[in-house]
Chains A and B, each alone.
Chain A
Amino acid sequence: MTRSLRWLAGAFLVAWPFVYSAPYPLHIVVVVLIWSFAYTSWSVMGRFGLLSLGHGGFMGIGAYVTALLWNYGGISPWIGIPLALLAGGLLAVLVAYPCFRFRITGHYFALVTLALGGIVLQVITATRDYTGGSLGYTPERYQGGSSLYALQFSGKTTWYLIALAVWAAGLYVWYRVDRSMLRYALEAISEDEDAAAATGVHVTAEKLKITVLSAVMTALGGALYCQYQMFISPDTVSGISISLQMVFAVVVGGIYVSLGPTVGAVITILLAEGLRVSFGTRAAGWDNLVYGVLLVLFIVFLPKGILGSLLDLRRTRGPAVARGA
């Protein structure tokens, strides 16, 4: 994608809600953007073979810490969200550092993160006196409508712009990682840790950096989701199914390309919404049924995902195309 085309697309995305602002499509787009950001956050580390099945835990921390601080401490999300990000980052260090230090990789790493996600979920459920448990939790409305202080807006256009900005920032982080030495270090590590260490790569530090980055971004996604939806429950922001959903969407969209997670989010959310709108409650379960089959088919036949495979196709047929568009 050329530079001018990218600016054009950006301008279109910013201007779009001012021309056409029907609430339902706008809502879907906001949800897609927030999840795209969360999926991008996962793929930042997932693309290097650091398969985390516990990112739902980071998302839950982001959402619940922000909401709890607001309700119990009256702390504005402007301070609450950074604190939530800090909590997510700390948790990541706490678990990931020993993991990397003691060379827990592959299956074992995936299962440790699975345990981490399980812990966050169970803690939220167990402290039901404060978090509402599995019934969910609602941040209190600030004096009725919109307020910048409380980061609560009734207008969807405002939320659209916020989500768009965060999503674009997520893509920018992805690019920065893609162009950094960190990327080469991590690719070397994912192929052979010993060889990477022998050539002077600090394996533990590099892996820790990317994990904390990914965890903090995911926590931000959770906080954003909480502020937008004004309702969170362990099922919607935490838990193993959310973690697996992240992995699934990224794999379908394309794990090695920047817009892959976004494509994955668009496909999965449109699929779920489409089924829900056309079949109503009878559709319950059908979306995941399709996901499951697709996931297996993708892993077997298209491990690079939809966007990744399409770009590969263009690269082999057409003239040189900008990498990772």
Chain B
Amino acid sequence: MGIVDIFLLEALINGVLLGGVLALLSLGLNLIFGVIDVVWICYAELIMLGMYGMYFLSGVYQAPIVLSAAVCIIGVGLLGVLLHLLVIAPLLGSPPINQLLATGGVLFFLQSAATVLFGVEFKNLGLRLPVLKVSGVFISYARLLAFGAAVIGMVLVYLFLTRTYTGAAIRAIAQDRQIMTLMGVDSRRIYLITSAIGGALAGLAACLLVLQYDVHPFVGLSFGPITFLICVLGGLGNFVGGFIAAFVFAEIISLGGLYFDLEWGYVFAFAFFIVMMFVRPQGLLARRS
């Protein structure tokens, strides 16, 4: 294998691994959009708080990593519920733009709350996972772990949505919110459960991201926009579409980063998104009407 091929293979594999994490990020957002019909612009900031939670529990107070992960997942899940009760619920009847803006306000709030409480310094767990070397290709162990956990998380959510009564109710609400309340489903309860699951997924993503990236109050801005774009590209609320879009995006970023610069990878990904919006406005998997 030539030297270029090795780099190419490494970029491709890293793209797949990054795709796993991005897919997990977009899953929570997609779930919330599909069911409640609201975009949480502040979704990445919830992840940022989860990362701080991991940093303090595991890095500062030396709690076992599994325990702190569990606490974070539950904690961010509760934050999701809180967000729904305080901000989304009063706005359910108002125009979608107001809902978007209100969660934008939450974004500002969480970002600056983190600045005020934790300072702007970059922090990390101080935990460096080894790098796997398979026949000349370097694979980050942290990324592999993140990919694995992301896949497991997605399978669990899929099973929950398809195999349980509550899951069926959630899917039904996503299809028709008026009829389902007539069928005896308490939509408020379903919304709360969905918000909790969405938050918990953000918490899970936080636990995985903190292994690879430093945490600082503005970390959400670095992967927040990309998450939204993936959801839109996949078709907001379409889980399978989001899953595929995540891998497409990750490969573009990874390959663009290989041949040019990391920023150019993002530029290509964004440009690809805009072009795809014109080709398939309702998402990758949508049939054109």
Contact = CB atoms under 8 A, between A and B. Distances in A.
Interface of A: 49, 51, 95, 98-99, 101-104, 106-108, 110-112, 114-116, 118-119, 122-123, 125-126, 239-241, 244, 247-248, 251, 284-289, 291-296, 298-300, 303
B225 A240 contact: yes
A122 B267 CA distance: 6
Interface string B186-221: 000000000000000000000000000000010001
B65 interface: no
Interface in B95-118: 95-98, 100-102, 104-116
Contacts of A104: 277, 281
Contacts of B236: 107-108
Contacts, number: 146
Given A122-B266, A296-B87, A116 B98 contact: no
A300 B277 contact: no
Interface residues of B, number: 47
A22 to B, nearest CB: 30
Contacts of A116: 270, 274
A296 B109 contact: yes
Contacts of B116: 284-286, 289
Given A104-B281, A108-B232, A115 B105 contact: no
17 contacts: A95-B274, A102-B277, A103-B281, A104-B277, A106-B97, A114-B229, A115-B274, A118-B229, A119-B267, A119-B274, A122-B266, A126-B264, A248-B104, A284-B115, A289-B113, A292-B108, A300-B87
Interface of B: 39, 87, 90-91, 94-98, 100-102, 104-116, 120, 217, 221, 224-225, 228-229, 232, 236, 260-261, 263-264, 266-267, 270-271, 273-274, 277-278, 281
- Nearest 5 interchain pairs by C-beta: A292-B109, A295-B105, A285-B115, A292-B108, A126-B263
A291 B116 CA distance: 14
A244 B108 contact: yes
A299 B91 contact: yes
A248 B221 contact: no
A248 B41 CA distance: 14
A295 B70 CA distance: 32
Contacts of A114: 225, 228-229
Residue from the set B96, B97, B228, B277 with the largest chain A CB neighbour count within 10 Å? B97
